[in-house]
Chains A and B, each alone.
Chain A
């Protein structure tokens, strides 16, 4: 059973990725939201923008991670050059 768990069938790869991305998004955005609320309440005298900004950070991190999961080779600043067809 452990063997089967390890090996996900090929048709389910994308679904898994999507699951991971969604959970990542939820976690990151929730962390950002909470950090923004705490920061606005404590540091920025109950202003609303720190909440949006930190949530945005959270979403952005989630997006970046998701992007990496879908295309691990697309690292910013790195370009993979295909070898010329011989």
Chain B
């Protein structure tokens, strides 16, 4: 066994390749046989044969039995062919049946895999549905797996059996060798082997020789030691010869190399000089060219730069101008805004001052009005008659804008103003005489003559005088009421009462009434102007 293993490790590459090829062929054969459904027993025998074939090449002894077996099978096929020539029709039927069965089985198998095919298959082929269902049931029950398992187990069993057989055969073949050659001899064999040289060719040769030695060790050949020794010597000789050849070759090649070297050196020098010259020329030319180009380029660049600079400067200037303008505008806007503000303030101040002036004016006017009013009042209320036309004129002049004052003043008669008005005390004093006269004429009828007057004077002496608020529309009662009102300082009512008289009494009292009316008018005017003055002063304040 150990020997066999070692051999296996030392197999040459070519040999190994061939064995690999063989193994693959065998494997393919076995696969084919396994997949064919015709005869499983035959395939198993083939497998066993294949295993034997696999094992045998390493033995060195060819498997004679298997060759014989193959020959046998060939003979059987020939016999079958000879028989079938007789039954042509039977063969035809059998072929069709087998082919149909295979096709049907394949269709069922494929229908299990492909749904579309299955639909088509079930639709068009008679009895397909049942068979497919049956197969599906079988698959579901695991029958196929069981069969597959059985087949595998059977294969393993046969393989094991084949191995046993091979081992047994090997034992039968090897037993004497193993018994004969002890471990020491094996060691010797090891020592006897040729040392491995460095040269690859020699190495190969050495391997070959070693193998040969091994083979010789395995088989009992006479003078094998001699042969080995001779081979060794020859190998050595061969090595020395190769070395010599190598040295010689080296020397020759060296000489050749030197010669060549010299030649090429010369060539190199001459070429170098030439190239140098050329290079210098080229350099000069290129230098000139580049110089001129550089000059041109630099000139162009300078021109461009100048242009660019000018353009940029112009743009910058423009921008600056714009900026400055903008700033100036802004500043001016700010100033103008401030000026506007100031202007606004000034206007406000102006308005305030104007208002103030107006206010002052108004107040002055009202003050003057008050002054003149006071003067007028003073003039009117004097016990004597004093003309107040001056006061009236002054007032008219001062309050020419005041409509009310002017209107009121326009109602005052110039005559009255020039003559002045009687005071209440004057009027009441005058009333005493008026009363006497009126009473005297109180009994005169309308259009009365001299005697009527005389009678009236006479009878009026007899009449009782009335006092206080006497009722009645007779002259005596009216006179009594007037007297009462005058005593009460109510000139207005007194005048109204006296105005009720008719005939001669009225005529007699006319002047007094006039005077009283003037007084009242002036008084009213003064009151109105006073109210106006009060209003204006209120509005001013």
Question: Chain A: residues with CB nearer than 8 A to chain B?
Answer: 9-15, 17-18, 21, 63, 66-67, 70-71, 73-74
B450 at the interface (CB under 8 A from A): yes
Q: Are A21 and B450 neighbours in the complex by a CB distance under 8 Å?
A: yes
Flag if A70 contacts B511 (CB, 8 Å). Answer: no
How far does the alpha carbon of A14 sit from the alpha carbon of B450 in the complex, in Å?
A: 11
A67–B449 alpha-carbon span in the complex (Å):
6
Query: How far, in angstroms, from A73 to B433 measured CA to CA in the complex?
Result: 28
Q: Do B511 and A10 have beta carbons less than 8 Å apart?
A: yes
- Distance between Cα atoms of A21 and B449 in the complex (Å): 12
Given contacts A9-B511, A70-B453, contact A14 B440 (CB under 8 A): yes
Is B510 a contact partner of A70 (Cβ separation < 8 A)? no
B434 proximity list for chain A (CB < 8 A): 11
What residues of chain B lie closer than 8 Å to A21, measured between beta carbons? 450
A-B contacts counted at CB < 8 A amount to 43
Contacts of A73 in B (CB 8 A): 447
CB B242 to nearest CB in A, in angstroms, measures 189
> Are B449 and A14 in touch, CB under 8 angstroms?
no
Shortest A68–chain B CB gap in Å is 9
Query: Is B441 part of the contact surface with A, judged by Cβ < 8 Å?
Result: yes
Q: When the two chains form their complex, are residues A70 and B450 in contact, meaning their CB atoms are under 8 A apart?
A: yes
Q: With the chains together, A11 CA to B432 CA distance in Å?
A: 11
Residue B512, interface by CB 8 Å: yes
| B512→A11 contact, CB < 8 A | yes
Q: What's the Cα separation between A85 and B448 when bound, in Å?
A: 22
Stretch at the interface among B13-21, B205-213, B467-475, B501-509: B501-509
Does B509 contact A74, Cβ atoms closer than 8 Å? Answer: no
The complex places the Cα of A10 from the Cα of B452 at a distance, in Å, of 19
Residue of A nearest to B441 (CB): A14
- 17 other A-B residue contacts (CB within 8 Å) besides A11-B437, A70-B449, A73-B447: A10-B508, A10-B510, A10-B511, A11-B438, A11-B508, A11-B512, A14-B441, A14-B508, A15-B437, A17-B453, A63-B450, A70-B450, A70-B452, A70-B453, A71-B449, A74-B447, A74-B449
The binding surface of chain A is classed by DSSP as helix
Q: Kindly provide the distance from the CB of B507 to the nearest chain A CB, expressed in whole angstroms.
A: 6
A73 to B447, CA, bound (A): 8
Alpha-carbon distance between A18 and B507 when the two chains are bound, in angstroms = 16
A11 touches B448 (CB 8 A): no
Task: List 28 interface pairs A-B (beta carbons < 8 Å), by A numbering.
Answer: A9-B511, A10-B507, A10-B508, A10-B511, A11-B433, A11-B434, A11-B437, A11-B438, A11-B508, A12-B437, A14-B437, A14-B441, A14-B453, A14-B504, A14-B508, A17-B453, A18-B453, A63-B450, A66-B450, A67-B449, A70-B448, A70-B449, A70-B450, A70-B452, A70-B453, A71-B448, A73-B447, A74-B447
Whether B450 lies near A67 (C-beta < 8 A) is: yes
Q: Can you list the 10 inter-chain pairs with the closest CB atoms, starting with the nearest?
A: A10-B511, A11-B437, A10-B510, A11-B434, A66-B450, A9-B511, A11-B508, A67-B449, A67-B450, A70-B450
Residue of A nearest to B419 (CB): A3
**Which residue on A lies nearest to B504, using beta carbons?**
A14
- Closest Cβ of chain B to A51, distance in Å, is 25
B383 → A minimal CB distance (Å): 19
- The interface residues of chain B, by DSSP majority, are classed as helix
Range class of the B interface residue count: 10 to 19
Q: Which residue of A lies closest to B454 (CB)?
A: A18
- How far is the CB of A38 from the nearest CB of chain B, in Å? 29
Q: Tell me the minimal C-beta distance from A10 to chain B in angstroms.
A: 4
**Residues of chain B within 8 A of A17, CB atoms compared:** 453
Min CB distance A7 to B, Å, is 9
A3 — nearest CB in chain B belongs to which residue? Answer: B419
Chain A residues, CB < 8 A from B441: 14
Q: What chain A residues lie within 8 Å of B504 (beta carbons)?
A: 14
Q: CB-nearest residue of chain A relative to B506?
A: A10
- Chain A proximity of B208: nearest CB distance (Å): 187
Measured CA separation A86–B247 after assembly (Å): 189
Q: Knowing A71-B447, A71-B448, A74-B447 touch, does A11 contact B453 (C-beta < 8 A)?
A: no
Nearest CB in chain A: distance from B225 CB, A = 202
CA distance in complex: A15, B438 (Å): 11
Smallest beta-carbon distance A35→chain B, Å: 24
Interchain CA distance A72-B243 in the complex, whole Å: 206
Chain B residue at minimum C-beta to C-beta distance from A12: B437
Residue of B nearest to A21 (CB): B450
Specify which chain A residues have a CB less than 8 angstroms from the CB of B450 in the assembled complex. Answer: 21, 63, 66-67, 70
The answer to whether A11 and B447 have CB atoms under 8 Å apart is: no
Q: Which residue of A lies closest to B451 (CB)?
A: A67
Docked complex Cα distance between A25 and B336 (Å): 105
Set of chain B residues within 8 Å of A10, measured between Cβ atoms: 507-512
A21 to chain B, nearest CB (A): 7
Residues of the A chain whose Cβ atoms lie less than 8 Å from the Cβ of B507: 10, 13
Residue among A10, A15, A17, A67 with max Cβ neighbours from chain B (10 Å): A10
| Complex Cα spacing A14 to B508, Å | 8
The residues of B that contact A74 with a CB separation of less than 8 Å are: 447, 449
Q: Which residue of A lies closest to B514 (CB)?
A: A10
CA distance A17 to B456 in the complex (A): 15
A46 to chain B, nearest CB (A): 35
Q: How far is the CB of A66 from chain B (nearest CB, A)?
A: 5
Nearest-neighbour CB distance to chain A for B341, whole angstroms, equals: 72
Give every chain B residue within 8 A of A15 (Cβ-Cβ). Answer: 437
Tell me which residues across on chain A come within 8 A of B511, comparing CB atoms: 9-11
Q: Tell me the nearest residue of chain A to B513, going by C-beta.
A: A10
Distance in angstroms from A14 CB to nearest chain B CB is: 6
Give complex CA distance A74, B449 in Å: 9
